[in-house]
Structure 1
Amino acid sequence: MLRWLHLSDIHFQGNEKYETRKMRDKLIDKLKEIVSEKNINMIFITGDLVYQGSSYDNLLKDFIKKIASTVEVSIDDLYMIPGNHDLKRSQTRNFIIKGIREKDTSLESETIDDLLKGFDKYNLFYKELKNKDCDYIYSIINREKINIMLMNTALAAGTDDDNEKLIIEKEQFYDTIKNLKDKEDCVNIVLGHHPISYFTPSDQSKIFNNFSDYNIDLYLCGHEHKGGYKYDLPDERTIESYKCGGGMVDNYATVTFVIADLNVNKKTGKLTYYKWLEEEECWSKGGVRGRRAISGEIDLILDRFKNHDCESYTEIDINEDEFRRFIMQFHEKLEKENLEDVNIDPKDVFDKFRNMKCNKSISKQYDSFCRYFQVINEIMNSSLLSQIEKESIPNVVISEYNKLISNLSNGNEIIERIVENIFKEYSNSLQYSNTKLKIYFKILVYWSIYECDIFNDEL
């Protein structure tokens, strides 16, 4: 079992009043109580360590180290990113941000360097605390069965109105996140300060597209000083976002911290929110808005690892132009392998499913995917490919089918194994996300079952 402590928006000033000082002392007591019952492995702090650029002094460093020692987590296992209060505002920075927002331009390297200068004090504190540099916008930490992506959402933040105006540095963001393409067996978590809704609508789409394409499961953030959760739905699956509340007592914030329990093998878990009760001056479960978490506990969904019923495929909308490009690129790859031709012998596909002891979900999935057969047929009936090239895809499917037919007990298993084997063989040579590749390969398998003399065996 993997567990982490999530804190955010500490807003340390060094001259806190009674209410905040009392809350932080009781936080240490509560954490001692929690670790007496279960171990904590990591700490996540999602930005705004200080308040309005206050100094990063030894008092803050001692407070963070005290939290780490209390939960018996080394500083190496503490991961944090900056927030909008962790940067130094300046007239120059404001002019740069205004220009970026007005012109909607890409960021040049000199502009990025100027924006990053605002984090000099934070970076120095980070190095003093962790004994390593953080001169990056995005970074990935690889752990056993889990990967953590650090995302500086405050790169172009710091104005009085940042909502729906933040941007990503697209080149560095993409270069970083695509390293998770082959990490589909791991749980992949992104830490950011702002909710994704604070980015421009265009960048929100890019973020969620890449989250979906490159196996991101959870997004953890803060900024709004309220605990909360949100489930975003890119084209293919659900991506969970969880907000931690504030870490300073005032008239606005809901002060919270979060303990997460994650079974990295079973890919199941839960979050437990703890809320500071100002009148009672104690910590209690709660502090997250939403009906699913009234008790203070909320189950992690980890949608990517769920065994979805095949009906969910009816909601997938394939980009047909991209699918055409994929088919042609796949043909180019197969052309180099000198494949032999095959016999094409269409049969009633539903008779085939019955012969192969497929359950009803296979028929439903087929019904969903067969609408894309016309895209394949357009290419197969065109003059773009020779006859040998046209038979290369069914050849690959039939070859895998013949390897598996005597070893598996039903058609469901055979289809999944064919897709998995083709994916393993060709995924590295095709520049699409793993999720899309598996869907595209599955469409080709169903098309081959319809068009070719396979799946006529009786199991």
Structure 2
Amino acid sequence: MKWLHLSDLHLIYKNYDTDVMRVGFFDYLKHHFEGKVDCLFITGDITHQGQEFTDDVYEFLNNIVIALDIDKEKIYMIPGNHDITRTNLMGNVIKGILSENDCRKAINEIDADSFDVLYKGQQGYRALYEKFLEREYPKDDLHFVIKTEDYNIIHINTCLIAGGDNVEGRILVGLQKLLNTMSEISKEKDKVTFALGHHTVNCLNDAERTSFLNRLSDSEVDFYLCGHVHQSNIHQESNNYKTVHMFTAGANVVDGYSDTIFIEGNLDINNGNVEVVYHTWNQPQEFWHISNSLDRRLVQGSYSFELEKIKKKRIQKKM
């Protein structure tokens, strides 16, 4: 099973270096991955600073589909904070929630009118989702699960309050809604499970962070894929019942700050061996290549480990 993980496309953002990189990006995808990718994950910030999802955005996304030769039913994506249309009313609702002594309780018990104010900011993203992926967006669910025969994908919408000021490190996902969503896979924990979220765990509010990690562990999530920070990262959350492997992709921009990086994952479903490869853009020389310098664990060009879930199955079969 091979997947690619892209994040923070910021497609309205343009400059010369980014334009050159994106031309090379499509050539690189086609040359190395055409017809070989089983899943494509996009973890938010498709547009930039709440701007419209223009025809150029759809063209870019469809060019990815063409380069990979992938069915759209194998593409899974979530919104980012830049995919939100902000309003003053939204900002006031968010400010009120974060000012509560127990903000975790406040977001769990949010009234319908306040929720609608926040959720309406993602209306443009939901329209993009349906037009591009050609399937209905589950509008009644903040978070939702897509189940397949071989794996589950939990879509965690981390952007409900992301349209406010000074929310960095204070993100609330709404743990009650997340718990309800994860209950849908309570009898399918033996499947490989991905969770997608735009924000890293460190971006979450202190009031939710520990319980959020518990939800991932208790639902036996194998991979948490995210973005937002524009800096790539590898992390194993092992201080729990179940290890969760966390991967942060970079951004699809060249701006002097961002890691211009996407991630490739490979899973051998028979023995549980996983290999993760980071692909990066060399801006001075203008070419894409495999990176072995972002993390000491990538020194050989990939980060490898064994998935506990499949290892356990294999041992049980031998007994």
Is structure 2 residue 162 aligned with structure 1 residue 157? yes
What is the match of residue 45 of structure 1? 42
Does structure 2 retain, via aligned residues, the 8 Å contact 1:209–1:234?
A: no
Q: How many residues align?
A: 309
Report SS of the residue matched to 1:270.
Answer: strand
- The reply on whether 1:95 has 2:100 as its aligned counterpart is no
- Superposed, 1:160-309 pairs within 5 Å as 160-286=165-291, 289-306=294-311
- Following TM superposition, by how much is the alpha carbon of 1:290 offset from its aligned partner in structure 2, in angstroms? 2.4
2:129 to 126, 130, 144: 126
TM-score, scaled relative to structure 2: 0.91
**Residue 32 of structure 2 is aligned to residue 34 of structure 1:** yes
Q: 1:140 and 1:123 mapped to 2: Cα distance? A: 16
Compared CA separation, residues 295 and 225, structure 1 to 2 (3 A): farther
Map 1:107-122; keep pairs closer than 5 Å: 107-122=110-125
Please tell me whether residue 59 in structure 1 is matched to residue 51 in structure 2.
Answer: no
State the structure with more CA Rg. 1
What amino acid maps onto 1:117 in structure 2? K
Residue range with higher mean Cα deviation, 292-301 or 261-270: 292-301
AA aligned to 1:183 is E
Determine the C-alpha separation between the residues in 2 that align with 1:287 and 1:224: 20
Residues 252 and 260 in structure 2, CA contact (< 8 A), matched pair in contact too:
yes
Q: Which amino acid aligns with 1:284?
A: H
Letter in 2 for 1:116: Y
Question: Do the aligned residues in 2 keep the contact of 1:51 with 1:85 (CA within 8 Å)?
Answer: yes
Judge conservation of contact 2:195–2:223 (CA < 8 Å) in 1.
yes
- 1:48-104 CA-partner distances (Å, limit 9, x unpaired): 001101220111111111111111111121111000000011111111111111112
Separation in structure 1 between the aligned mates of residue 269 and residue 21 of structure 2, nearest angstrom: 32
C-alpha separation in 2, matches of 1:303 and 1:292? 19
**SS at 1:10 equivalent:** coil
Asked if structure 2 preserves the Cα contact closer than 8 Å seen for 1:148 and 1:190, the reply is yes
Alpha-carbon displacement from aligned partner over 1:1-51 (angstroms, at most 9, x marks no partner): x111111000011x7222111111101111112126x71111110000011
* Cα RMSD after superposing both structures: 2.2
Identical counterparts, % of pairs:
28
SS of 1:52's equivalent in the other structure is coil
Amino acid in the other structure paired with 2:98: R
TM-score w.r.t. the length of structure 1 is 0.64
Alignment partner, residue 79 of structure 1? 76
Equivalent position of 2:7 in the other structure: 8
Report the secondary structure of 1:76's partner residue: helix
More contact order relative to length (CA 8 Å, sep ≥ 6): 2
On the 8 A contact 2:43/2:78 being kept in 1, the answer is: yes
